[in-house]
Chain A
């Protein structure tokens, strides 16, 4: 039945046009060049008419190029085709599924409106940037293995850690959750797709624009942006050209993030299957709901902070020029008003993944489901009131420090509730130590350490000693690598059968976990020590007293990097040759496991009916959802619709 529908839609595609005019990479290439030509031409013309010399000025040319070239590319690849045709009065097909679903590997490189294809597109993109950003970190560790300068020069080094952090944050951690949720969330709530499939396709294609811009900064004269991922003004205003690539790259990634979040919100609010009340939603859905609220409210602030810097550079405004009445700290307040909530954007969806995996692989209901959902909301609210804890030594108003410390420390409470509830979920369960479960256990222990070092940093006086040192580097990696990235690995393994229709190799998965877990701790644990002893972060050279530990850290980091090869091999090999996956290999209750692996192109032939909570393991006869009313168990009440 499903295949018939799919084939029908496939055949119904329009006749193929000339390759130059057809949506795709060829059209994207020439349209990018065309847009560049037109808009740089206009820029030069305006400068000539106004008498602004030089006509061809680096910052201006670059800003214009990084705005219009991606637009040209996107227009060429075809994300705007439907809307443009609608504007021009073209015929609109109410059920146009011409670019929906993947029928060969080539479809993953085209604009596609199927949330499952987009989810995989996201994860593939994230994997590429994870490898690229990881390589940059390894070059950095090569330089830091010994004191003095051996491998790169100082400006390049500053560029390496800046591009590394920007890629890993904006192109890996934040969007990888969007990718996983894109695939899983509509299935989980029983929806045929996201609320706005074309917007969904646009959000995905915006993302690689940001990443490619950031990577291409490595090739510009003067080197890549070198102000860290925080890009503090006024340093960022005076840096070479590469800085513009950060200012603009962030805008593309941020726009992508906001659109996806809006899409998730509308999807979750309006497209839940009949019977799925808010208190029957799986915690992954809760987690993405709160995360999306955070993204929508906070992300415009980082856009603002980067626009201010860009204006200071290009339009000669004076937001951060103290000689003309500018205010330096404004940048940090605006930046952190996004970037602290961003920490939760990067970990709340992970909490959702942990809840799914831990309940299913422990064969027990989530302990304290409602409190788990409420603690997410508590983190959402508190998360907006702690931004200035990044600024305890920044020179802001001294009275602001104590209230910010109080809110910061209080966030430990809802976070603690989650950790204790996960432990209680495992208590007396039937634990199956599959690879996703191992990553969950790894997450619990690593995130615990990250949370505890967060208590040190939350205390203002200790933070005064430890801020801007390797202690902070250790803390952020325990939270974002041992925390967020471990949950992403858990999620990828857990839903791998659903995504690909094949089982991953369990032995390789476990090998990957142990190599990562050991490599991670050997790399980042000693950083706490050298940081407290006096090694500042973001330095290419350091005092000889730290030489031994740095050598140890560098060697460990290479082992950690090598562990990724096992993961890569497992993904590629299993996707091609893995054992065929059944619909429900984990014997789970949530709706995505009620459809085949991989799911049909349009998800559900019948609309699922939600008849109970999502984690009723061990309750005799309990069901979360049923696919057709006729299969309903007698004792369950099926809501009318």
Chain B
């Protein structure tokens, strides 16, 4: 393309050559921008403390992308700042700049360099992805069931123990096998850095190798309706021995019957996440409290005896909804509980003075 030198052009033009003073300034501006960006990148806690092997690898990629970003940011900022300072037209200057139409060498460079950079990120990402999806030969299997608006975790090889929070032994790779009962949910523990949608009609899996003891938030990250913001639970990483002991106790409690069985069902189904119930020490407020006064009042309004009312509310929650609470928040799926568990739960919830009516 034709390149004519402009009349008022301050320096050599059209070949991509830049004056030496300009190079020094450009490098200087680039360093300042890079230092600023690095300070921002290091000065804040951008990431949670990783608690899984997968998170370590993902956060490595994060830092790789950050390094490349700082480089690009520094180059662009340097040119931008230099241009703003040096190429500002004087108020009465109505002349044009030099008619530079392009520079093939420069254009090839800024096509190739970004291509190489994104290939680097792409290859590193593909390697991390394949390693993070590898569950090894003997993972702990946890069946995850999501529904509006609660999580349930079942351990098929631990006597089918179920729990409302995810308990994991330290340093053992776990494979979550996930299903949804209604709409799409998404499983995320920020400290594990692993996330996976839980989709009706599909079984999805997720691999996690926790490597730090602690209790971490477990969040639904796919908009699933009214109670989405409250669809939270906990992931608890335990010593393997403590995990085994917990699994053993829980499985015998559910099978054992009596008040402990009711309590075990209450906890396993996660009722406490939404309901306040003193004997279980729960403080949830998304649903009505399960104290004596509230239960009596609601049972009366529904025209049922207290145990029948509790049974109806568990099996068919929309038949009667406590005033001040919206419909369709309480999951309708507890009706599928085995009869002995359901009876144990109702028995556990009925206030003491009316226990005689229980089945």
Contacts and interface: CB of A to CB of B under 8 A. Distances in A.
Nearest to B204: A395
Interface in A422-456: 423-424, 426-433, 441, 444-445, 448-449, 452, 455-456
Nearest to B115: A413
B227 interface: yes
A367 B121 contact: no
Given A238-B183, A405-B126, A444-B80, A536 B221 contact: yes
Given A394-B197, A395-B199, A618 B96 contact: yes
Contacts of A529: 44, 46
B136 interface: no
A633 to B, nearest CB: 16
A543 interface: yes
Contacts of B9: 428
Contact of A455 (B68, B132, B196): B68
Contacts of B221: 467-469, 536-537
Given A448-B72, A467-B195, A541-B229, A459 B115 contact: no
A410 B46 contact: no
A208 to B, nearest CB: 28
Given A417-B111, A461-B128, A539-B229, A618 B223 contact: no
A619 interface: yes
B184 A328 contact: yes
Interface stretch (A95-103, A227-235, A557-565): A227-235
B258 interface: no
A458 B121 CA distance: 9
B76 interface: yes
Contacts of B224: 235
Contacts of B106: 424
Given A232-B184, A416-B114, A428-B98, A448 B76 contact: yes
A420 interface: yes
A393 B196 contact: yes
A320 to B, nearest CB: 9
A188 B355 CA distance: 85
Nearest to B87: A431
Contact of B95 (A322, A363, A534): A363
Nearest to B118: A409
Contacts of A367: 100-103
A539 B97 CA distance: 51
A394 to B, nearest CB: 5
B193 A364 contact: no
B79 A536 contact: no
Contacts of B303: none
B118 A455 contact: yes
B99 interface: yes
B229 A459 contact: no
Given A364-B100, A410-B118, A431-B87, A459 B61 contact: yes
B186 interface: yes
A402 interface: yes
A522 to B, nearest CB: 14
B228 A158 contact: yes
B87 A430 contact: yes
A293 interface: no
Nearest to A153: B326
Contact of A398 (B133, B184, B194): B133
B65 interface: yes
Contacts of A363: 89, 95-97
Contact of A395 (B118, B133, B196, B223): B196
B201 interface: yes
Contact of A464 (B58, B97, B201, B202): B58
Contacts of A534: 48, 190-191, 217, 219
A337 B31 CA distance: 41
B21 to A, nearest CB: 14
A618 B281 CA distance: 79
A227 B226 CA distance: 10
Most buried by B among A326, A401, A464: A464
A415 B321 CA distance: 55
B202 to A, nearest CB: 5
Contacts of B275: none
Contacts of B219: 534, 536
Contacts of A464: 58, 132, 193-196
Nearest to A157: B229
Contacts of A461: 57-58, 61, 125, 128-129, 132
A533 B46 contact: yes
Interface residues of B, number: 91
A462 interface: yes
Given A394-B197, A423-B80, A461-B61, A364 B99 contact: yes
Interface in A218-261: 226-228, 232, 234-235, 238-239
A367 B225 CA distance: 50
Contact of B79 (A413, A427, A540, A616): A427
B95 to A, nearest CB: 6
Given A322-B200, A533-B47, A465 B58 contact: yes
Contact of B87 (A369, A413, A427): A427
Contacts of B115: 410, 413
B159 interface: no
A445 B84 CA distance: 13
Contacts of B87: 362, 426-431
Given A363-B96, A401-B129, A533 B107 contact: no
Contact of A158 (B11, B119, B226): B226
Given A363-B96, A423-B76, A536-B219, A393 B195 contact: yes
A462 B132 CA distance: 11
Interface string B191-216: 10111111111101000000000000
Given A395-B202, A540-B229, A618-B6, A405 B125 contact: yes
B98 A533 contact: no
Nearest to A526: B44
B12 to A, nearest CB: 10
A352 B6 CA distance: 26
A153 to B, nearest CB: 8
A328 B100 contact: no
B96 A364 contact: yes
B306 to A, nearest CB: 30
A266 interface: no
Given A459-B125, A464-B193, A235 B58 contact: no
Interface string B106-141: 110011001100110110111011001100000000
A227 B228 CA distance: 11
B97 A394 contact: no
Nearest to A457: B65
Contact of A430 (B57, B61, B69, B97): B97
A131 interface: no
A393 B13 contact: no
B339 interface: no
B10 to A, nearest CB: 7
A327 B88 CA distance: 58
A640 B298 CA distance: 89
Contacts of B196: 393, 395, 464
Given A154-B230, A459-B121, 18 more contacts: A154-B227, A234-B184, A235-B224, A365-B99, A367-B101, A367-B102, A393-B196, A395-B197, A395-B204, A424-B103, A426-B87, A431-B88, A452-B69, A461-B61, A529-B46, A533-B47, A617-B96, A618-B97
10 contacts: A235-B184, A395-B199, A402-B129, A409-B122, A424-B106, A452-B69, A459-B122, A459-B125, A538-B223, A542-B229
Interface of A: 154-155, 157-158, 226-228, 232, 234-235, 238-239, 322, 326-329, 362-365, 367-371, 393-395, 398, 401-402, 405-406, 409-410, 412-413, 416-417, 419-421, 423-424, 426-433, 441, 444-445, 448-449, 452, 455-456, 458-462, 464-465, 467-469, 528-529, 532-534, 536-543, 587, 616-620
- Top 5 closest A-B pairs, CB basis? A322-B201, A534-B190, A539-B229, A618-B99, A430-B89
